[in-house]
Amino acid sequence: MTEPEGAGRTVLVTGAAGGLGRSFAVGFAGRGYRVAVADLDVAGAEETARLVEKHGTAAWSGRIDVTDPDSVAETAAAVAAFGDGRIDVVVNNAAIYATVTRSPLEEIDPGEWDRVMAVNLKGPWLVVRACSPHLPDGGRVVNLSSATVFSGSENWLHYVASKGGVIALTRVMAKELGRRSITVNAIAPGFTLTEASYGLMENAAQYGVDRGALRRSSTPEDVVGAALFLAGPDSAFMTGQTLVVDGGRQFI
């Protein structure tokens, strides 16, 4: 019998207490990866870990504050110990999204700007910095950007800027870590039906459907395949790239 793709490999997914992060964790478990689930929401992370274990693979869960270098370093050390000294794949999913206030650029609160940048942009850097010593040659990093970077959503400057920064960060990381044959790529999902998205508007299930080549809403499962591809053997010579997963609402 052929071993599953992720056998013997460990993936860390941040922001995995629910939504897209939980779907990533479960998707990787289905491929046989050992899955480390990290989030500020400890109870949610533990629930995700239980879902992972139902796939017959090992799970670890713990608290992480991606804006705090000490918290990130502690998490990286714990996950490396869970993974027998290695963290094979890092999925930087933790972000502020639904709670970001939509405001014209003249009215954005500077404190909120700083908080969005700290979580959405500084966070992925801190996580990769802490995990780098534990990433083996051939390791993978997957950063989460957003398709809104390419459409330039109005009244959301700080969120869009933070996700645009993730693409830039991905490209520089790809060059620096490429010396160790580590690939770094990004996924830019379109509007996806998570718990957070449903909380944003009453008609979330229909939002933007008429603008897509595929006339339906995106679910978290639609995005998971891109992460599995970027973590797997078929993308070994692909790095510094951004995959847009939005059902063809825009072509880049």
Q: d(Cα 23, Cα 79) in Å, to the nearest integer?
A: 19
Asked if the structure places residue 2 within a domain, the reply is no
Here the tokens at position 90 are: 């890092």
Count CA atoms within 13 Å of residue 123 on its CB side.
Answer: 30
Asked if the structure places residue 4 within a domain, the reply is no
- How far is residue 100 from each of residues 79, 97, 125, measured CA to CA in Å? 30, 6, 21
Find the CATH number of the domain harbouring 53.
Answer: 3.40.50.720
- How far is residue 54 from each of residues 16, 35, 49, measured CA to CA in Å? 16, 12, 9
Domain count, the chain: 1
| Domain encompassing residue 162 | 10-245
Buried b (16+ CB within 10 A) or exposed e, 13-41: bbbbbbbbbbbbbbbbbbbbbbbbbbbbe
Task: Provide block-wise average pLDDT over 10 residues at a time, the chain (252 residues).
Answer: 88 96 97 98 98 97 98 98 98 92 93 97 98 98 95 89 98 98 96 58 60 73 94 97 88 76
The pLDDT of residue 198 is 45
Residues that are catalytic: 159
